[in-house]
Structure 1
Amino acid sequence: SEAALRVDGVGYAEEELLGLDTRRRARLAGLTALGIAVARDELGALGAPLVGRREEELVLERFRAVLALERADVEEEVLRAHYETNPRHELVVRHVVALAEPSAPEAVQDSARRKAERALDRIRSGEPFPRVAADLSEEPGAAERGGLLRPGRRGSWVSEFWRAASALKVGEVSGVIRTQYGFHVLRLEERRTVPFGEVRDEVALEAAGMIGGTEEAWSAWADGVGRNVAVDTAALGGWLRGGVADSASLARGPGIRYTGAAFRTFLATRTEERRRELRSGPLAEAARVLAGEAVRAGAVQRARDRGIAPPPGAEETLTRKWEARAMGWAASLGFEARLPLEEVKVRAREALGTTRQNARLARDEAAQRGPLLRAAYPVEGLEPPVPATP
């Protein structure tokens, strides 16, 4: 029979959906999208809107710092002198990781720890680190790279990982290190001193934190721009009802054109509840949020025009963090790489109804990212959004 709900190549007949209200059907669609992404090794693409949002936050953090320094008349020579007293380093690291979130059952954590210890034993016995990483590391792509990470700087990695890597001498191997992702074994390949020009934004951020006034400078800038941003409430209402194209302008301001596509991407990064509130709640609230997002988009563009960028390796770090979280959900819910789509369908339905504690926790956490999961693939058959109320 014809599919009543379809997520990319996975379809559900109406009889397979009996008893499921709209919200549970949406949850099933999200779980199916997660399973498809794991099966196809597309978790990076699945999380791209969220990763992009977080990259923008890093850009905005640096932009706010620049505004504060300009307001305080801090000159370039001051920043350079500050850097020379505390130069930055870039590290090249290989690692092996056995994934296990802190919330995982003790048996899962013990198994991951033992796996990392086996890796360490093999390395200390003289086996090449890349070979051990290819055999044992659970990070996506580790086999092809031999566990080699892109060069990292302070802030590129979680603090426990950075501290462990920073403490090593070149060629030295760490013991087993615990982070929020699991258990790691590291080897430092290279340590480089970073030129001032490459870390100027980071130095500015640190200096702004020392002098203060960042929020005041940002508020003054954002308020000035916001006064000149106009939301087209008729277009916004039409877009929320599905009658206005994504290419339409929903807000305009100085150098700003904020479209339905941009607002759709923003909504994909919200929780399920917040997305529902904005799509079906008062139009005035959606307009208020959209105006703020238009100002934010203008700030990101202004920052990039001035050469402000996220830290090197930020995209990889954020993507890796997202993939580790999503793989944790997938492992608890039974999704695996290269699963046939028909099996993805079976496991998604099982995940929706599971009563196992760990699987239920993973399902509920993933469900809060339902808008993100469903945005990655074409979804047909969910009820249209409730029109925004005036």
Structure 2
Amino acid sequence: MSFIIKGRNCLAPFHRYLTSTRQFARASVKLYGQGQGHGRIRQLSTAATAEGVEDLYPSRAGICEVLPRKDPVIWTHKGISAAGPLTNEELNHYNQRGFLVLHDIFTTEEMKPVQDEINLFKTNAEHNISEDEDPTLTADSNFLTEPNTKKLRGIFAPHMHLPSVNRLTRSVKLISRAKQILADDVYIHQSRVNMHQALVGNGHHWHTDFEIFHSEDGMPRMRGLTMVVMLNINTPQQGSLIVVPESHKIFIPTAKSTSLDSLETNSKFKIQYGAPDEAILSELVDQHGIEYCNGDPGSVIIFDLNLVHANQNNLSTLDRTNLFVVYNSMENKLVKPFNAPWDRRPEHMAARDKKWVQPLQPIENLLSEEN
């Protein structure tokens, strides 16, 4: 059973008292209105898409919701855990906290071709932007700039266009860990380079990847994860990734329905679609705090798709460039979007083409000329 609260603009303030991890995980909580008496509480029913797939995580329906997570964090195949390089301690941390930071996964030699190719793309793209352009994501464009500048903010689907990035995303160091957590073969649902350039890099507001992928792309279950490969040093001053530990244990939909222009605005400006209710977010941070994911080039962050995360503006004089790779289970391929005014997002934002939706074959040695 799940409960929701409804109030003015779906942002009526309330207090939630979470007395145990079990209550938190099951969203078995009391919700209290503040100032205007108790908020209205009612049950939320699930819906189904035209393809007959049950919507286990309804969202963007004009209501503020707290729903229990219905999927495991560490998956199994027929009750058997998958083997892999992650230790039991690391798996337990990921299961309980929703993320891992692994240092020294890639060497300087393995990082250099990726850094060089991305820097070359950035230089060429910025050089070719005219004065009257303000590039953003469209069906025909896979990169965007910081608002009203020529500074690149992000590149989507670099693994489809940049050979060194394609090789890195197929590294056994990444794929073996993804398969161990998801207990299945994986493909890349989405990849992107977040540039976050010195002094101009704007942060990304609090959100979960799964809410966006579920509502806008039709990702049915939480059987996916995001890996972040640090290409530069990551510090709080540069806008390193911030997470709310344990926030992956419940599902926090958003109230605002998806607008057609969100394709072009959600990644360039402050996230409006997929951002959690501010009162719920405050309760989560009060309960569990926030943690910065810092590291050096070659470090890797793994986080659950349902983990609340963000990053701040880059206030330093150093760039912070990261490669984000979303690995999805082959058993969790996309269906029709659950709440979006389109049938699909562009391929560089959400893979559906059979060319890309197939089990990844891992590369053992990134420095080898084979593969």
- Of Structure 1 and Structure 2, the greater helix share is in 1
Q: Which has the higher strand share?
A: 2
Q: State the TM-score, normalizing by the size of structure 1.
A: 0.26
Q: Which is higher, the Rg of structure 1 or of structure 2?
A: 1
